[in-house]
Amino acid sequence: MVDVLDSSALRVVAYALVALLAFVWGVRERRWCAAHQSDWWPRYWFLSAALLVTMGIGRAGALGDVLSEIGREQARSSGWYDTRRTIQAAVVIAVALVWLVGVAIAVLRVPPRRRRYLPHVILMSAAIAFAAIRLVSLHQIDGLLYRRDLGGVRVVALVELALLSAIAVVTVTTARFPSDTAAVGSIDDGHRQTSRHGRT
């Protein structure tokens, strides 16, 4: 069981399942929008599914390990391998800051009609930031992620699976539809507001 949880194959399957879930919700939400004249954004789910598939392919092909090794070879050939950790630490900090600033801007600036997607956006961006930090391959972080374990499962596997599980849960909760009565009431309210604006 521990070997399965720690395996890259399980995470590849998890990426595929979460991507499929996002695609299915995109199809359902597009049909809902067509039937109820909603201004939701089903295209977001399709974009998320494509991104998750891309990340899953990268995980299946160990693309992160390949790119990290290419980076190390470039550092050796360029003569800054011995000082790489300072640069790596700066990149890790920059990634974390960009993620935090991006989340703050999203929370403050996302319009109300798009806020239903915000928890999913935050978790997706966290998964991307986590992948970017792994790609940098800072020695201290690698030691924590790849050489530490909980119950025999490496920290890197636990964090990645936890992020994917959270994304799946948020996908399901975000994609819930209101009752037909609530939807009709919302549409009627929108029409009334439009009429009032037209009279003024």
Instruction: Give percent of the chain with pLDDT exceeding 70.
Output: 84
What is the reported pLDDT for 63?
A: 79
Q: SS in 3 state form for 79-119?
A: CCCCCHHHHHHHHHHHHHHHHHHHHHHHHHHCCHHHHHHHH
Whole-number mean pLDDT of the chain? Answer: 82
Task: Please calculate the CA angle 157-8-22 and round it to the nearest 5 degrees.
Answer: 85
**Of 133, 136, 122, 131, nearest in space to 174 by CA:** 122
Q: Is the per-residue pLDDT at 10 higher than 70?
A: yes
What is the reported pLDDT for 37?
A: 66
First-to-final CA distance of the chain:
67
Q: Is the per-residue pLDDT at 185 higher than 80?
A: no
What is the reported pLDDT for 154?
A: 93
Q: Is the per-residue pLDDT at 198 higher than 90?
A: no
Provide mean pLDDT across the span 115-134. 93
CA separation for the pair 140, 59 (Å, rounded): 22
Burial of 12 (0-12, 13-18, 19+ CB in 10 A): middle
Condensed to tens digits (0 to 9), the pLDDT of residues 83-122 reads: 778 888 999 999 999 999 999 999 998 888 778 889 999 9
